[in-house]
Amino acid sequence: MPLRFYNTLTQQVEDFTPASENTVRMYTCGPTVYDFAHIGNFRTFTFVDLLRKCLRLNGFQLNHVMNITDVDDKIIRNAVARRLSLEDYTKIYTEAFLEDCASLRLERPERLSPATEHIQDMADAIQKLGDSHHTYTSEGSVYFKIASFPGYGKLSHNDFSGNLSGARVDVDEYDKADARDFALWKTPKEGEFFWDTAIGPGRPGWHIECSVMAIKYLGETLDIHAGGVDLIFPHHENEIAQSECLTGKARQLQVLHLCDEPRHVVWVAGDRDALDHCAGMHGVLCERRQHRSRTFCRRHLQHDSQRGKAERARWFGRQRFEHRLRLRAITQQQRGAGRLERTTRVRID
Ligand SMILES: [Zn+2]
């Protein structure tokens, strides 16, 4: 009996057959390393790990690529605030993410692909989209013109008829001609990191990185594209638009998403503090790694008891303090090595 998956694109359960022989070409969206990954993120990565194991048990070989988003608005803002280079800032959270994955025994994809190693590829792709009239420039930033891709909305099955073309909106603090359009390349603001490229100074938008790296390492079509349900729109919808305009081919054979809401994170979300949320999972895994307390996770999952809440609050406070100490130590180390002059320009030859 063939393996069958629910395909978000067709909204059908379908037999799965990879396009070329027995190797599955799979792309999944990885972490944005601006902070520690939280328990909801790891739920998605665990889903991907189970998918990998399921495919292999069914006799398939894997060629799986996952990106590491190591440049975005939050990363830049935090790195500048900490007076660290992008590389030094994201290294902390990339290493923490990989350590946490190892603790959860998640398999590593065949290729992990950091976005900042593919800036030239992204600039080339944006140039190519511009040559085929899928983009426009506004105040130095480059946007994808949704109206140029009639298939927009086919993944999320959204009806965009209510969106007024020509209405100017200010999303991400950039000007767009149409509410649905999205940034491919963002012009730098004062004091921000940027790359000098043929399409001008700036940095890539989030969506373009996945299209570019998937095409580069897996080819013009994929067998599986997977991710959390929160990525269906706009991220994966935008990826499909870019990729199909770049290649002229239908992008995915099957698109899988983790389908339900991550209700089990309530005990963390209840603390209403983003830093607690993020530091919590990493801290739990560190604690587990160091074998300080084998009962730690069990105690902290007892969210309904007053004692458990007080204990968790104390523990999160300690995590925040340790996190601040770690960042301070890195900053002092950088200052000692004379590397704290702000790096705001990276030239690509
Ligand atoms: Zn992605």
CA-CA distance, 58 to 54, in Å (whole number)?
6
Q: Give the distance (Å) from ligand 1 centre to CA of residue 36.
A: 18
Q: Give the distance (Å) from ligand 1 centre to CA of residue 226.
A: 9
CA-CA distance, 77 to 34, in Å (whole number)?
9
What is the CB-side half-sphere exposure of residue 119 using CA atoms within 13 A? 23
Which residues of the chain are modeled with pLDDT < 50? 164-173, 259-279, 291-304, 339-349
Q: Give the distance (Å) from ligand 1 centre to CA of residue 232.
A: 10
- pLDDT value for 20: 83
- pLDDT value for 87: 93
Q: Which two tokens stand for residue 2?
A: 């063939």
Q: Give the distance (Å) from ligand 1 centre to CA of residue 70.
A: 12
Which residues, including other chains, have CB under 8 Å from residue 182's CB and lie 6 or more apart?
Answer: 143, 144, 146, 176, 205, 207, 234, 238
- pLDDT value for 53: 95
Q: What is the CA radius of gyration of the chain?
A: 21
Q: Give the distance (Å) from ligand 1 centre to CA of residue 30.
A: 7
- pLDDT value for 268: 29
Q: Give the distance (Å) from ligand 1 centre to CA of residue 329.
A: 32
Q: Give the distance (Å) from ligand 1 centre to CA of residue 118.
A: 14
Contact by Cβ (8 Å): 287, 298? no
Q: Give the distance (Å) from ligand 1 centre to CA of residue 310.
A: 38
Q: Give the distance (Å) from ligand 1 centre to CA of residue 54.
A: 22
- pLDDT value for 107: 96
